[in-house]
Chains A and B, each alone.
Chain A
């Protein structure tokens, strides 16, 4: 196939797989009721409080750093495709861009954003 309909098809097939599997599972599986059954499984200990709460900020820092480098990757991919045509001048321009980014990484490193505390 030459066109992009494949993505719609695959999307629908994922839906078919999940819905079909769930329906077959619901039809075949046994059902039973129990007062304790719907509780969270936390190694058999009664749950204390909710799990929807504030969480460690370290993950947030990683996400921010990821965002910086991911956008950089998006910007660099078009350059990578036409790099042979641009030659040395394109390389100098991009190296300047990369140096600025590496300085950013060095700053985060120096400030301890990459340490896990």
Chain B
């Protein structure tokens, strides 16, 4: 489909250039690309919300939503309409500007990261020469929005939630960063297309034993960065009611909710692109027949399939383990994962120089 999609885009481009002036053509194309990104972003959020509700229901031996539409799949549409009709409660004692800017910054951070991803062979927004670094950099913009939300609400629960979220996200950011660096050492580039090309024969996890260490570290760190699962201290319902978004109501809360689910997708997609071969099919060097069968499966199915597996893993962890305390959380990051990821970088470098 990705090739058909590119063909379709080229057809639209020729159709536009034949009929309209060049400046208008690029403007129209920008708007189309932007709307495409926004639609995909919203669709992924909607899909993941219903996916998580069904999965968590099955983990808890429930049926989950099953009334609206077949298997309850339209429940999420109904919820979206409902959240739009809920009152946006005007607060009296908050910092208005920061309070309303916070959802925008959270959405912007997650959309910018979304724009740097690759979705299938040749389907991407931009082919950045520092792609991996860019993804790491912009994915931490969202935390500024979270901190602003907690601070501007003038609520003690929000403040504690935001502070915890800040400490947690910046701590685990380090491990995510260092585990990616091991891959950059192995692949020799930060450009996502170059990393994809390097994974054509074998995905990075099959190229080196240290990639597995990096993958495990990345998965834990990425899971902690989404503020979910055993790491949900910032929004721990039983102690902070809802953490940093206590004071948000109606659609302003909805933005945080959508961004949370999209960040789940984005983190899984980065993990897929960097460790699991992205849209590359599973290839075994030397087995021509097997490779041909695997190549018959379109690249977007590989990409989204592998991403979905990582998302499922994340949901599994979330609905299985109890919440950590903050001292246990910081102990895990600073005394276990950080030394391991530093050692992993050195070992990976030694392995690449002497054994490859």
Contact = CB atoms under 8 A, between A and B. Distances in A.
Given A28-B85, A63-B166, A21 B255 contact: yes
B133 interface: yes
A12 to B, nearest CB: 7
Nearest to B190: A81
Interface string B323-356: 0001100110011001100100110011011000
A59 B163 contact: yes
A84 B60 CA distance: 49
Interface in B86-129: 86-93, 100, 103-104, 107-108, 111-112, 114-115, 125-128
Given A25-B251, A31-B87, A66-B170, A18 B155 contact: no
Interface in A43-89: 43, 47, 50-52, 55-56, 58-59, 62-63, 65-66, 69-70, 73, 76-77, 80-84, 87-88
A93 to B, nearest CB: 11
A1 B166 contact: no
A91 B127 contact: no
B93 A40 contact: yes
Nearest to A4: B126
A18 B42 CA distance: 12
Contacts of B230: none
A18 B171 CA distance: 29
Given A11-B112, A13-B38, A65 B247 contact: no
Contact of B112 (A7, A31, A94): A7
B241 interface: yes
B154 interface: yes
Interface string A30-43: 11100001111111
A69 to B, nearest CB: 5
Given A6-B126, A81-B189, A40 B352 contact: no
Q: Which of A18, A24, A56 has the most CB of B within 10 A?
A: A18
Contacts of B71: none
Interface residues of A, number: 69
A80 B353 contact: no
B350 A91 contact: yes
Contacts, number: 204
A84 B352 contact: yes
Given A4-B126, A73-B178, A62 B171 contact: yes
Contacts of A62: 167, 170-171, 330
Contacts of B8: none
Interface stretch (B50-58, B180-188, B207-215, B311-319): B180-188
18 contacts: A4-B128, A9-B115, A11-B112, A14-B112, A21-B251, A25-B83, A25-B251, A28-B84, A37-B90, A38-B89, A39-B92, A40-B91, A40-B93, A58-B167, A65-B334, A98-B346, A102-B342, A114-B334
Interface of A: 1-7, 9-18, 21-22, 24-26, 28-32, 37-43, 47, 50-52, 55-56, 58-59, 62-63, 65-66, 69-70, 73, 76-77, 80-84, 87-88, 91, 94-95, 98, 101-102, 105, 109, 114-116
